[in-house]
Amino acid sequence: MDVAARPLTYSSPGAPAPGEETWAPPAGFRAHERTVPVGSGDARWEKLREAVLGWGVKVRSGFDVEPVDGAGLRVAEGRTFLLHARLGPLTVREPVRVVAVVEQDRRCGFAYGTLTGHPVSGEEAFVLTRDGSGAIALTLRSLTRAGHGPWRPVFPALLVAQRLYRRRYERALLRPPGDPSHSAA
């Protein structure tokens, strides 16, 4: 099946509510939310804004991001991507679709949902905010449950990998791109 035509693996797209300060996770998922400081100032905001909206958190955490439509990495609602996670000698392809994007003066980010063939089912959001003093923070939100097919039996191992990657996400915007310490777990 063409990746762009694959359906979402769940029925509540946009649940991590990247445009909202608070959210109410739906039942049936493991919910996660964490906010970490990533800097301050207008110049830093602009750089981080572009990084977040261009998959910088994932790329700086060791993923390859491939736009299915062949266009650039800039997120837009409805665009489909293949995320490539390297686990030792293996590469896991994760088909996803951007389900929500927010671009405001003090808040920007997006949520993506898993498509058929992804190892887990759910959504993940990366949201950048800045307060009145100029302090910038990255909020990670995710909803996860077991995927379907051959991935279902390995769900416990996938949860461990997810925790490791979350630590990478939290540090992804603290160093400039290309810093060799980016993909250290």
Q: Which of 46-55, 90-99, 118-127, 172-181 has the lowest mean pLDDT?
A: 172-181
Which strands make up the sheet holding 80-87, listed edge to edge? Answer: 30-40, 135-146, 120-130, 107-114, 90-103, 80-87, 64-67
Residue 37: C-alpha distances to residues 48, 131, 134, 138, 172 (Å):
12, 11, 11, 6, 11
CA distance 35 to 22: 12
pLDDT tens-digit series, residues 9-57 = 998 899 999 999 999 999 999 999 999 999 999 999 999 999 999 999 9
Residue 169: C-alpha distances to residues 3, 27, 85, 132, 174 (Å):
25, 25, 13, 24, 10
Spell out the domain ranges in the chain: 29-172
Q: What is the pLDDT of residue 176?
A: 62
Asked if pLDDT for residue 181 goes beyond 60, the answer is no
Instruction: Tell me which of 54 and 148 has the higher pLDDT.
Output: 54
Q: What is the pLDDT of residue 1?
A: 66
pLDDT tens-digit series, residues 82-117 = 999 887 888 889 999 999 999 999 999 999 999 999
29-172, which class in CATH?
Answer: alpha beta
